Amino acid sequence: MSKPSLSFTYLSLFTTIEKANEIEGDLIEQSHHQTKLWFGTHVLLTGLALFRQVVIDNLASVFLLSYATYELMTKVMFLGIRPLQIYLRHELDLSRMPGILVMFSLLFLMAFVIGGALIRFLPRLGIEVAVGTIAFCVLRMIVLQEGYTLVDIAIYIAAPLLMGSVYIHRKNLRHAIEMEGAI
């Protein structure tokens, strides 16, 4: 396998590379008399089941690491500036503050880098911690209602965090396949 398939990339987020390869092989074997939708659905559901099992097996670690990442993103990243600069979007006119766009781009980039770092330093729990961090942001929004919305969290936290995680994960897979012959 020279290039990791989408299904393999997805499954290997939640289990080892070897087991993801074998699970994908099992699903391919069973899908010969089924549709592509069947295969895609079962890949998705299998990944979710594996994700849930990892969270259950490491509940305390995922909880603590998610909370720490959430605090990092909302407090430290902005060095004392009010958490989630997007709140300012509701108070200032964007067209008069081009700097705000630069700041939002930096916010996006920082979340992307943190997502990648989670996979780099927590290969077995990275994606679970990323999802946990997003859950904390949503919970904070619902409980404290600090003025930002689900769309804000989706654009500035969830999307770049997950994109960063998947990007680094895919890089790691290519490295494992090409250099180390892991499969």
Partner 1 sequence: MTPSYIYYIIVDMKKLQNLGEFEQVMLLAIIRLKDAGAYGVSIRNEISTRTKRSPTPGAVYTTLERLEGKGFVKSSVGEATAERGGRAKRYYRVTAAGLAAVRRAHRDYRSLLQGLDILGESYV
CA distances to 5, 93, 99, 148 from 85, in Å? 37, 14, 12, 9
User: Considering beta carbons, is residue 3 or 75 the nearer one to partner 1?
Assistant: 3
Q: Which residues, numbered 42-101, are part of the site for partner 1 (CB under 8 A)?
A: 42, 45-50, 52-53, 57
15 lies in the site for partner 1, by CB under 8 A: yes
26 lies in the site for partner 1, by CB under 8 A: yes
Point out which span in 13-21, 92-100, 137-145, 169-177 binds partner 1 (CB under 8 A).
Answer: 13-21
- CB-count exposure of residue 128 (10 Å: 0-12, 13-18, 19+): buried
Quote the least distance from Cβ 153 to partner 1, whole Å: 28
Query: Which of 140, 130, 109 has its CA nearest to residue 65?
Result: 130
User: Considering beta carbons, is residue 26 or 178 the nearer one to partner 1?
Assistant: 26
User: Considering beta carbons, is residue 51 or 167 the nearer one to partner 1?
Assistant: 51
User: Considering beta carbons, is residue 46 or 133 the nearer one to partner 1?
Assistant: 46
Q: What residue has token string 């919305």?
A: 149
User: Considering beta carbons, is residue 42 or 140 the nearer one to partner 1?
Assistant: 42
Choose, by CB under 8 A, the member of 6, 30, 121, 178 that binds partner 1: 30
Distance from chain centroid for Cα 153 = 13
> Rounded to whole angstroms, how far apart are CA atoms 108 and 155?
8
Q: What residue has token string 């989408």?
A: 6
Helix 36-57 and helix 59-74: axis angle, to 10°? 90
The residues of the shown chain that bind partner 1, judged by CB under 8 A, are: 1, 15, 18-19, 21-30, 32, 42, 45-50, 52-53, 57, 183
